């Protein structure tokens, strides 16, 4: 009995699996666990007969002092552990690479059948080559055994999920295949050099073995994601289907039935994702912490907010900006009163209006309160008051004005997010919706105060001062002074006062987050803590962030640390 193979695991596989698992642990979802557990069961079950054959025919051999001599069908326990660890390591790399992807947007309405046929022909040719290698014997035996064992599985995987394999970004599948393959190959060479085990020299094809097994693992993971994406698509079209946790039965049924994909639905989702990715990396990454239909609804909500915000900010003048608010209000009326998607009303020639119509059409209004959407528009109208040359004073004159503005532009979005969470995750009534809504509005205000504190200098550049005029007067300042010199020591003191106000709101309502159900509690906590960390960073910088024209961002390492701890 020996411990060499166990030592190999302690050096090469267990540490890597542990590091990946610890890194990804806070971001695990029910779907991730489902994929990895099922795939491990399938991988071990499918590999045991094949590995047993190789060992009994002395293609794989182990020195007597390399293992602890505990076997299953002549396979050492350490080898079975390797099957599990390889599957886990490759699966974790895949989960990390695909975490940001909004997978339903990669569904195809008309998959290219010639791609399926070409791939099938190539795989069949390789399978026949494997049979020929096995029959020939000698140096080609091992190659033949690898191909005969693996290619029927890969052929079935390809036939079922080829549309998703070819439409996903290549990095999402190539990296989880190639990176573990190279690593395991190098580790295997080191182990054989140390005498941990041996393979008949004339049949050594370890790189091929690791490559093809990782292809099977990744294709299996893609198959699960394809099924979940189809189930989410069914929810997009009908509003029915699984919750954000997903239903394996529903997902597999969707995969077998091959749901017909509508191009317009996928196009709307792609537009929303592209807009959010371009306009707000933080919201896009934050949405990835949720899963399933809830994440898609959040993307549509955030996309709408950015769409109307851009139309107002990019308007030539106040009149055009107010026009877009009126048009948006009209479109919302059509959605919220009829509870169905309104048509473009023949205005496709007006490209901007057409985009706004699509953003409004995509809103999940049946799962949200209507009033916060209209209140959000009131917040945009307050922004327009800054450009009104006839104004007697700046629109944020008192602290009450600041509270009202923050409620319009931030508490509204927080309320809408809570409505969606409530729809998917509070069917057992684990928390009181009204109490949670009140706390949510307070937290939304706190986050907006932090936004204002961060952007004092950037707002001044466009003629806006969101700090109440009544806060400026005791310091002998006017809004015009702050517009002229937003980096003064007085501006830093006002920034600190805003952060103090944000802290009061945050501390008053943060405990409510812990009453949310698991699965959404952690992403909500992470989103809030990420904003609060911006406030802490602003305090540490003592006003230095006011001197730069760029939008202040937390250092990447700090953002990752906050997210990792908040997701625990």
Q: Determine which of 233-242, 410-419, 523-532 has the lowest per-residue pLDDT on average.
A: 233-242
For the four alpha carbons of 248, 249, 252 and 253, in that order, the dihedral sign comes to negative
Q: Give pLDDT, residue 291.
A: 84
Token output for 118: 């070409």
Q: Give pLDDT, residue 510.
A: 92
Q: Give pLDDT, residue 348.
A: 39
Q: Give pLDDT, residue 469.
A: 94
- Res 255 pLDDT > 70: no
Q: Give pLDDT, residue 99.
A: 92
Q: Determine which of 19-28, 33-42, 235-244, 277-286 has the lowest per-residue pLDDT on average.
A: 235-244
Helices (H) and strands (E) in the chain, counts: 24, 4
Q: Which has the higher per-residue pLDDT, 419 or 194?
A: 419
Integer Cα distance of 136 and 140 in angstroms? 7
- For domain 367-567, the CATH class is mainly alpha
pLDDT in tens, 24-34: 999 998 889 99
Q: Give pLDDT, residue 489.
A: 85
Q: Which has the higher per-residue pLDDT, 507 or 66?
A: 507
Task: Identify which of 243, 217, 221 has the alpha carbon closest to the alpha carbon of residue 232.
Answer: 243
- Res 347 pLDDT > 50: no
Integer Cα distance of 21 and 27 in angstroms? 10
For the four alpha carbons of 362, 368, 371 and 375, in that order, the dihedral sign comes to negative
Q: Give pLDDT, residue 189.
A: 83
Mean pLDDT throughout 295-299? 92
Token output for 187: 């580790």
Token output for 137: 């014997």
Q: Give pLDDT, residue 259.
A: 67
Q: Which residues pair with 71 in a beta bridge?
A: 76
Integer Cα distance of 329 and 377 in angstroms? 8
- Res 251 pLDDT > 80: no
Mean pLDDT throughout 407-424? 94
pLDDT in tens, 468-481: 999 999 888 899 99
- Percent of the chain at pLDDT exceeding 90: 51
- Spatial CB neighbours of 449, under 8 Å, sequence gap ≥ 6: 402, 406, 498, 499, 501, 502, 505
Phi, psi of 76 (to 5 degrees): -60, 150
pLDDT in tens, 67-110: 788 888 889 898 999 999 999 999 999 999 999 899 999 998 77
- Percent of the chain at pLDDT exceeding 70: 88
pLDDT in tens, 172-206: 999 999 999 999 998 888 877 776 666 555 445 67
Token output for 509: 């309502």
Burial of 64 (0-12, 13-18, 19+ CB in 10 A): exposed
pLDDT in tens, 303-346: 999 999 989 988 888 889 999 999 999 999 998 885 444 444 44
Token output for 234: 């069914």
291 DSSP assignment: -
Task: Identify which of 60, 96, 93, 94 has the alpha carbon closest to the alpha carbon of residue 78.
Answer: 60
Q: Give pLDDT, residue 547.
A: 59
Model confidence at 253, pLDDT cuts 50, 70, 90, reads low
Q: Give pLDDT, residue 265.
A: 87
Cβ(471)–Cβ(495) under 8 Å?
Answer: no
Residues of the chain with CATH 1.10.600.10: 367-567
Integer Cα distance of 465 and 383 in angstroms? 10
Q: Which has the higher per-residue pLDDT, 458 or 390?
A: 458
Residue located via tokens 């992403």: 523
CA distances from 58 to 75, 146, 195, 200 (A): 12, 15, 16, 8
Integer Cα distance of 558 and 309 in angstroms? 29
Cβ(133)–Cβ(140) under 8 Å?
Answer: yes
């Amino acid at each position: 009995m020996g411990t060499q193979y166990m030592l190999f695991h302690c050096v090469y596989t267990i540490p890597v699996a542990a590091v990946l698992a610890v890194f990804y642990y806070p971001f695990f979802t029910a779907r991730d666990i489902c994929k990895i557990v099922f795939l491990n069961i399938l991988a071990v079950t499918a590999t045991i007969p094949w590995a047993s054959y190789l060992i009994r025919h002395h293609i794989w051999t182990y020195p007597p002092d390399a293992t602890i001599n505990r076997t299953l069908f002549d396979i050492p326990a350490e080898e079975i552990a390797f099957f599990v660890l390889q599957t886990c390591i490759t699966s974790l790399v895949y989960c990390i690479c695909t975490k940001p992807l909004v997978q339903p947007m990669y569904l195809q309405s008309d998959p290219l059948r010639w791609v399926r046929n070409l791939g099938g022909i190539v795989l069949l040719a390789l399978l026949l080559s494997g049979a020929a290698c096995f029959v020939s014997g000698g140096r080609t035996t091992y190659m033949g055994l690898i191909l005969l064992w693996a290619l029927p599985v890969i052929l079935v995987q390809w036939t079922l999920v080829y549309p998703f394999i070819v439409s996903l970004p290549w990095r999402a599948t190539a990296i989880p295949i190639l990176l573990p393959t190279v690593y395991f190959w190098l580790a295997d060479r080191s182990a054989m050099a140390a005498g941990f085990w041996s393979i008949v020299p004339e049949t050594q094809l370890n790189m091929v073995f690791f490559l093809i097994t990782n292809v099977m693992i990744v294709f299996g993971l893609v198959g699960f994601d394809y099924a979940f994406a189809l189930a989410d698509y069914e929810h997009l079209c009908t509003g029915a289907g699984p919750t954000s946790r997903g239903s394996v039965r529903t997902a597999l049924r969707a995969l077998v039935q091959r749901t017909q994909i509508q191009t317009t639905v996928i196009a709307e989702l792609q537009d929303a994702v592209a807009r959010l990715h371009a306009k707000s990396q933080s919201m896009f990454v934050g949405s990835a912490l949720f899963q399933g239909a809830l994440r898609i609804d959040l993307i549509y909500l955030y996309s709408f907010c950015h769409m109307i915000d851009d139309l107002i900010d990019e308007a030539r003048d106040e009149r055009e900006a107010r026009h877009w608010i009126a048009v948006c209000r009209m479109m919302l009326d059509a959605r919220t009163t009829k509870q169905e998607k309104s048509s473009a009303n023949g205005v496709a020639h007006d490209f901007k209006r057409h985009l706004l119509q699509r953003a409004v059409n995509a809103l999940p209004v049946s799962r949200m309160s209507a009033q916060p959407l209209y209140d959000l528009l009131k917040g945009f109208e307050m922004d327009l008051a800054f450009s009104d040359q006839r104004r007697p004073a700046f629109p944020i004159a008192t602290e009450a004005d600041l509270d009202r503005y923050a409620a319009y532009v931030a508490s509204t979005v927080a309320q809408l997010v809570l409505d969606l969470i409530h729809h998917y995750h509070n069917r057992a009534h684990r928390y009181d919706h009204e109490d949670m809504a009140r706390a949510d509005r307070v937290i939304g205000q706190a986050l907006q105060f932090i936004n204002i504190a961060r952007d004092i200098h950037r707002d001044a550049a466009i003629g806006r001062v969101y700090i109440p005029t009544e806060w400026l007067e005791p310091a002998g300042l006017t809004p015009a002074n702050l517009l002229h010199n937003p980096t003064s020591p007085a501006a830093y003191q006002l920034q600190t006062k805003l952060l103090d106000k944000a802290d009061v709101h945050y501390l008053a309502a943060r405990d409510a987050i812990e009453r949310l159900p698991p699965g959404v509690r952690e992403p909500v906590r992470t989103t809030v803590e990420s904003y609060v960390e911006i406030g802490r960073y602003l305090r540490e910088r003592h006003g230095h962030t006011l001197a730069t024209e760029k939008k202040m961002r937390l250092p990447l390492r700090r953002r990752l640390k906050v997210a990792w701890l908040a997701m625990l």
